[in-house]
Amino acid sequence: MKTSFKKTLKTFKYLAIIFSVVFWIYMIYDDYIFIEKYGLRLEYIGGWFLWYFVYLLGFSFYYWGIASIIILIYHKFVKRTKAS
Residue 83: pLDDT above 70? no
Q: How many angstroms from the chain centroid is the CA of residue 38?
A: 30
Residue 13: pLDDT above 80? yes
Q: Which residues contact 45 (CB under 8 A, 6 or more apart)?
A: none
CA atoms within 13 A on the CB side of 77: 6
Phi-psi region of 42 (alpha: psi -120 to 50; beta: other; left: phi over 0): alpha
pLDDT of 50 reads 94
23-40 pLDDT, tens digit each: 999 988 888 888 888 887
Between 64 and 44, residue with greater pLDDT = 64
Q: How many angstroms from the chain centroid is the CA of residue 84?
A: 37
pTM, entire model: 0.77
Instruction: Assess contact for 62 and 19: CB atoms under 8 A.
Output: no
